[in-house]
Amino acid sequence: METKKRGLAKQIGYALPIALIVVLLATAILAMAFYGKEVETHLLSALTEAANRPWLVYGIVFVAMYASSFGLPVPEEVTLLTVGFIAFMARHPDLYPGTLEAGEGIRLTTAALVCFVAVLSSDVIVYSLGRYCGPRILRTHYVARILTEERMYQVRKWTSRYGAWAAGAFRFMPGIRFPGHLACGLLHVPFQKFIAVDGMAALISVPTQVFLVGHFGKEIIHLIKTYQPWIVAALVLGVLIHFRGKIAAFVAELRHKDK
pLDDT score, position 14: 47
pLDDT score, position 211: 92
First to last CA, the chain: 18
Residue range 236-250, pLDDT digits in tens: 666 666 556 666 666
Distance CA 119, CA 8 (A): 38
pLDDT score, position 100: 59
Instruction: List b or e across 189-226, with b for residues whose CB sees 16 or more CB atoms inside 10 angstroms.
Output: beeeebbebbbebbeebbbebbbebbeebeebeeeeee
CB atoms inside a 10 Å sphere around CB 41: 11
Give the CA distances from residue 246 to residues 76, 95, 117, 191, in Å, rounded to whole numbers and listed in that order: 21, 44, 33, 34
Distance CA 50, CA 230 (A): 28
pLDDT score, position 8: 44
CB 54 within 8 A of CB 107: yes
User: Residue 217 — φ and ψ, nearest 5°?
Assistant: -60, -40
Written as one letter, the residue type at 90 is A
Ordered per-residue pLDDT tens for the chain, 259 residues: 444 445 544 444 445 555 655 665 566 555 555 555 665 666 677 777 777 788 888 999 999 999 888 777 677 888 898 899 888 888 877 777 666 555 566 888 999 999 999 999 999 998 998 888 877 877 777 777 777 777 777 777 777 777 778 888 888 776 678 888 888 888 888 899 899 999 999 999 899 999 998 888 777 776 666 655 565 566 666 666 655 666 666 666 666 665 5
